Amino acid sequence: MTVVTPHARQPSRLLNLSRLSLVLALGLALGACGKDEPATDATAPVTSTDPAPPAATPETVVSDAVQAMSAEELRDAARKAYGDNRLYAPAGNNAVEYYLSLREKSAGDAGVSSALTDLLPMTVIAIEQSIGREDFAEAERLTALLERAEPQHPALSRLNASIESRKQAVAQRAVQQEVTAEQQATRQAELERQRLIDQKQQQEQAAKALQEKQAADAAAQAAAAEAAQQAERRAQERRTAEAARAAEPPPAPRPTRPTAADLRPLSTPAPNFPPDALRAGTSGEVQIEFTVGTDGSVTSARVVNAEPRRVFDRAAMEAVQRWRFQPISEPVTTRRTIAFTPGG
C-alpha cells in the first residue's frame, strides 16, 4: 500500500490532487468492502484495496438477485424485511428494493404503492443522516433508491446538491490536512461501523412510527366502517317501519264528539210563571247550564245567571229538568236562557 505522508509534501497543486485521488479511491474501495461485511461484525477492519465500484444509479440500485425474484417471492421478502425493520438497508435486502421490484412486476398494486409512500419519507431522512456522517456511498445508494421510486421527488435536487457540496468540502479538507491512505481507511471503517449502528436504531424508530400510523389508520377505518354499518342499519329499520306502516289498513275514523248543535229536543215544556211575579207584573230571565245524558234526559242543571235574582230560578230549574232530547253517543253540556214575560 502506498502511503502519502507529510514528509512527501510538494507545493505543487497537481501533486495534492493526485494524493486526493488516491485517498478517495482507497476510501471508496474500503467502503465497498465494508458493505459486503456481515451486519453482525461492525468493527471488522477494512483492508481491501480493490477498485471502487461505480456509484449506484436508479437503474442499478436494485440488485440483480432481487430483480430475479418472482412477484410472490418479492411480496414475502418485503413483508419479512418490513417486520424485521430492514426498511431501506442493508443493500440488496431491504423493503424498499423488494417493493420497487414488485411494483415493476405488479403494476397498479395499491398495497405496494401505499407501502412505498410510507417508506420514502424515512429514506429521505436516512439520506440526510448519511450526508451528515459523510457516508457518501450510502447517501448515493439511498438517493438512487429514492429516484427510482419517484423520479420527480421534490427532495432529489436538494439532496444531490448536498452530497456534491459535502464531498467537495471533504476533499478540500483532506488536501489541507494531508490525510494519509491509512487514516482515510480508518475513517471509512468508522463510517461503516457507525452506519450499522445508526441504521439499526433509525430503522427501528421508523418501523415503530409506521406501525403506530398503520394502527391509527386501521382504527379510523374500523370506526368509519362501524359508523357506516350503523347508518345502514338505521336506514334499513326506517325502510322496514315505513313498509310496515304502508301495509297497515288506515285507522277507522274516530267518532265525532256530539255538541250542543247535535241536541234534538223531544219535549221542552215551558216553565210555570211564579204567581207572585205574575200578580206584580214582573218579567225577567234565567240562564241555565245543564247536561243531557246519553238517554236524552237532563242529568244535572244549575243557574248561571238570573235577572231579577231568586224570582224565576226555581221555575226555570223545574222546567229544564223535565226536558227530553234524542239519545246521543256522549253526554253534552250546554246553556239555555229562559225568558219570563207576564201574559207572554
Amino acid identity of residue 114, one-letter, is S
335 φ, ψ (degrees, to nearest 5): -130, 145
pLDDT, position 51: 59
φ/ψ of residue 3, rounded to 5:
-115, 130
Comparing CA positions, the residue from 286, 287, 296, 290 lying closest to residue 262 is 296
Measured CA distances, 294 to 6, 214, 263, 268, 298 (Å): 132, 78, 11, 17, 9
Of 54, 122, 139, residue with least CA distance to 88: 122
| 239-291 pLDDT tens trace | 888 888 888 777 777 778 999 999 999 999 999 999 999 999 999 999 999 99
Strand pairing class (265-267; 284-292): unpaired
What strands, in cross-sheet order, belong to the sheet with 332-340?
A: 298-307, 284-292, 332-340
Q: For residue 182, which phi and psi values (nearest 5 degrees)? A: -65, -40
pTM above 0.85, yes or no: no
Domains defined along the chain, listed by start: 6-224 (no CATH), 260-340 (3.30.2420.10)
**156-198: per-residue pLDDT in tens?**
999 999 999 999 999 998 888 876 777 778 877 888 888 888 8
Strand boundaries in the chain, DSSP class E = 265-267, 284-292, 298-307, 324-325, 332-340
C-beta of residue 326 within 8 angstroms of C-beta of residue 295: no
CA 122, 123, 124 angle in degrees (round to 5)? 90
Q: Report the mean per-residue pLDDT for the chain.
A: 83
Query: What is the C-alpha to C-alpha distance for residues 71 and 28, in angstroms, rounded to an integer?
Result: 34
Q: Please tell me whether the peptide bond between 11 and the residue prior to it is cis, using omega within 30 degrees of 0.
A: no
pLDDT band at 50 (very low <50, low <70, confident <90, very high): low
Report strand pairing: 332-340 vs 284-292.
Answer: antiparallel
Q: How many CB atoms lie within 10 A of CB 135?
A: 23
- HSE on the CB side for 114, CA within 13 Å? 7
Overall average pLDDT of the 86-102 stretch: 95
